[in-house]
Amino acid sequence: MDAKVTREKLEKLNLFNSLPAEALEELAAQCRLVHVAAGDYLFKQDDMATTIYLVESGAVQIIRRYDDGEHLTLETVMPGHLIGELSTISHQPRLASGVAKEDTVLIALDSDIFFQYLDTHPSIALEILVQLSRRLRKLNLQVREIAAHNTPARIASLLLFLAEKDDGTFRTGLISTNFSLERIARALSLDTDYLRKVLREWEEEGFIGLDGRRFLLHDPEELQEIAGW
């Protein structure tokens, strides 16, 4: 694989494709490629954030670890999306670790250079706002569901989150998860028997299928209606 970041690489990314050719050439010279093998850390929780990353290929899981040894995957960052921009902008330690879900290539840019380009090219800031707004929309829905104690909506939202693709649509068919029903129930503050009951009802109605730690998503539109998305 090419070890150099080129203008052509940056042109393919929504974050930078509005920049003029000269600016892209200058930016490419400031960037570097980072290769992370599957299962390796890109960064660790509590590290100081001095670098912005943008996924070129592969995927990075953002994992929050707790003092009791538990951990939770907050999101999986796919190609074309930023990693670490919030911690970098706020000059705070990273709130979670970044672990490569598969062999991954990222474009890395030092934070001071990134801030310079934000000042001179507002289109970059606008694209970041678009990406952040999508994340905030999901968070807002989750908070609203918890506040309303709408348990089926919370379960449906979790299944949709696991099945959501980068473009906002949903995969159908087999969806794998590393979490047992017990772990999912604990994350949602639910009784495991109740969670199993809801999932079986949805299976009987044909929305989903169950197979151990995997599920079959047959009808994402029905789950979206339950979730209020």
Same domain for 94 and 128? yes
E strands, 66-125, in order:
71-77, 82-83, 97-100, 104-110
- Whether residue 192 sits in one domain with residue 124: no
Q: Which domain holds residue 189?
A: 150-227
Is residue 39 a contact partner of residue 100, using CB atoms and an 8 Å limit?
Answer: yes
pLDDT in tens, 145-164: 555 456 888 888 888 888 87
Could you tell me what percent of the chain has a pLDDT over 70?
86
Whether 206 and 104 share a structural domain: no
Average of pLDDT values for 12-37? 84
The pLDDT > 90 percentage for the chain reads 22
Cα–Cα dist 104/86, whole Å? 21
Helix (H) / strand (E) element for 64: namely: strand 60-65
Above 80 in pLDDT, residue 85? Answer: no
CA-to-CA separations, 120 to 4, 91, 125, in angstroms, rounded: 24, 20, 10
Residue 100: pLDDT band with limits 50, 70, 90: very high
pLDDT at residue 118 tops 90: no
157 shares a domain with 72 = no
89 and 140 inside one domain: yes
- Confidence class for position 1, pLDDT limits 50, 70, 90: very low
Instruction: Count structural domains, the chain.
Output: 2
Residues 126, 215: one domain? no
Do 190 and 218 fall within a single domain? yes
Beta-ladder partners of 126: none
Please say whether the beta carbons of 188 and 195 come within 8 A: yes
Higher pLDDT, 114 or 108: 108
Q: What is the CATH number of the domain that holds 154?
A: 1.10.10.10
Position with higher pLDDT, 199 vs 211: 199
Q: Is residue 97 part of a domain?
A: yes
Cβ proximity of 174 and 210 under 8 Å: no
The pTM (predicted TM-score) of the whole model is 0.55
Considering the domain boundaries, does residue 126 fall inside one?
Answer: yes
Does the pLDDT value for residue 220 go beyond 80? Answer: yes
Q: Does residue 221 form part of some domain?
A: yes
To the nearest whole number, what is the mean pLDDT of the chain?
Answer: 81
With respect to residue 2, please indicate whether it lies within any of the assigned structural domains: no
Q: Which ranges constitute the DSSP H helices of 164-191?
A: 181-187
